[in-house]
Amino acid sequence: MNPGRVDSLILYASSCSGKETIPPSPEVEQAFADIANSSSSIQEEKIVSLLFPPDWLKANPDYQNYMPIPKESVIPQVLQAQFEAIESWDSTCTNLSNITQPTLVIVGTEDIFTRAANSLMIVDKIPSAWLVQIRDAGHGLMNQYPNQFNRIVSTFLETVR
């Protein structure tokens, strides 16, 4: 690691893993695991339902017109490998206090994968970190509210330079 090479840090929909982290609910974990066993059209529907809150999807039925949606199916082995990587990731919670770079932590209040409380844990451990919670946003908040997300990131970067 070379912390001197990083001027600032942006953590989006993150957690520090380990036993302190609040995991997704068993239902969300099962829904994530079920994606690999679905047809590609059902995969898209399931992935989208996990990334965005139901109320937002109802209000934005045309989301596919302005959001990149992968057209390929998720390969079961790749999805399983990602799930295992998340589950086996060693905790970084104890190292967060060593971060001295300006840090922005941004999360959606309705993120069902990386719950907003995990971002609060991160901010509590990184000196002078910023926490921004986007109300009614899910795990896909950068696609859900791209203008708001970009303004926040730009403001942060302009402020810390």
What pLDDT score does 1 carry?
A: 56
Instruction: List the CATH number of the domain containing 24.
Output: 3.40.50.1820
Return averaged pLDDT per consecutive 10 residues of the chain, 161 residues in all: 80 86 89 78 83 95 78 74 76 87 97 94 94 96 95 97 85
Number of domains within the chain: 1
pLDDT of residue 158: 97
- DSSP for 89-117, please give it: PPP-GGGGGG--S-EEEEEETT-SSS-HH
Structure confidence at residue 153 (pLDDT): 98
The pTM of this model reads 0.86
In this prediction, residue 81 carries a pLDDT of 82
Closest CA to 60 of 156, 155, 138: 138
- pLDDT value for 18: 76
Domain membership of residue 21 as a residue range? 3-160
The C-alpha angle with vertex 73 and arms to 55 and 88, in degrees rounded to 5, equals 80
Per DSSP, helices labelled H in the chain are 26-34, 40-51, 54-59, 76-88, 116-125, 141-144, 146-160
